[in-house]
Amino acid sequence: MRRLPTTLVLPVLLCAAGCASLSYDLSSVPFDVSARPAPAGVATEPFTASGKAVLWVHGLCGKDQPDVGALLLQQCGADCAGVTDFRVEVAASFHDWLVTHLTLGFVRMKTVTIHGQRSARVGE
């Protein structure tokens, strides 16, 4: 009976070690960004941008995260009036998984994908 809790805790800890958190700052973006859908009647254009997040040696040697604000500016451009339906997801593709496992977990790689609806300024 004493082994049962250990066998249940170990898989949970291993799954938690694979989780990734991403912090980003959108204060430098010159237009409004919202997770809400666009209001009715507003013309929008969908966009997708991606980057890589890398954790070096379990975070002891640092981590590289994409600049979400810069990716958003690059994808939407200066003529953007705002972004609606904004989503950021972090997931591992097959190549990310392969790099992570070939390096024995010392390099953990994830793909950061940004989705949203871009609306242009009125009159443009």
What's residue 56's pLDDT? 93
Other residues' Cβ atoms within 10 Å of the Cβ of residue 104: 7
The domain segmentation of the chain, as residue ranges, is 22-120
Per-residue pLDDT tens over the stretch 64-75:
999 999 999 999
Q: Which of 11-25, 60-74, 95-109 has the lowest mean pLDDT?
A: 11-25
What's residue 122's pLDDT? 61
What's residue 92's pLDDT? 93
pLDDT average, residue stretch 17-22: 61
- The secondary structure of 46-67 as a DSSP string is EEEEEEEEEEEGGGTT-EE---
Q: Is 83 helix (H, G, I), strand (E, B) or coil?
A: strand
d(CA 35, CA 52): 22
d(CA 96, CA 52): 9
Whole-number mean pLDDT of the chain? 84
Per-residue pLDDT tens over the stretch 46-66:
999 999 999 999 888 999 999
